[in-house]
Amino acid sequence: MTHPNDLSADKLMRVGELAKAVGKTVRAMHLYEELGLLEPASRSEGGFRLYGPDAIDRIHWIVKLQAIGFTLAEIQGFVREFKGSNSGREATERVRQLFVEKQARIREQITQLAVIDNDVSEALAYLDSCQGCSPAFAPTECGACNHEGHRGEAPALFAGLSVGKPAEPKKPFDVPVTVLYREGST
């Protein structure tokens, strides 16, 4: 078994060893190569792809970019643009623009998640106080109850669940018994 820390600079790995070292599938390694995101250092005499220790760093880089929201197609695009740029300055400016845009989207998501977190906290605080409530109250009373110290409406996240009128009790028959008998029969 090859462990990433056991690799020397001249130790080359076959695709299966690389996949195992980074916790990915062989298919993922082939996909990264097809997309131009990963290149083998060389090939064995039998034609097998061989990767150096730098391939592990490259895959960790790809995984990190995916974790922050870049798709493989986006990564492929800016790798291609980077390599095809006329200068380092031009190449880095394009990557910088992409990172600025991604950071703005991440910050928007953080703001949205903070609002959601607050909504969940409000709902949980409300629901925690319901634990001591009498089982005599119907669930439909939970949306705007004055029991157990509640004042006014339930938090929005919970209120939608408990809104509504109490269900009317079902009648044993939908039609009057007299309709069940025909005239003249007994």
Question: In a structure prediction context, what are the per-residue pLDDT tens digits for the chain, which is 186 residues long?
Answer: 444 444 444 689 999 999 999 999 999 999 999 999 999 999 888 888 899 999 999 999 999 999 999 999 999 998 999 999 999 999 999 889 999 999 999 999 999 999 999 999 988 988 887 777 777 777 777 766 676 666 667 788 877 776 655 555 555 556 555 656 666 655
Domain ranges in the chain?
4-69
Secondary structure of the chain in the HEC alphabet? CCCHHHCCCCCCEEHHHHHHHHCCCHHHHHHHHHCCCCCCCEECCCCCEEECCHHHHHHHHHHHHHHCCCCHHHHHHHHHHHHHCCCHHHHHHHHHHHHHHHHHHHHHHHHHHHHHHHHHHHHHHHHHHHCCCCCCCCHHHHHHCCCCCCCCCCCHHHHHHHCCCCCCCCCCCCCCHHHHCCCCCC
- List the CATH code of the domain at 4-69: 1.10.1660.10
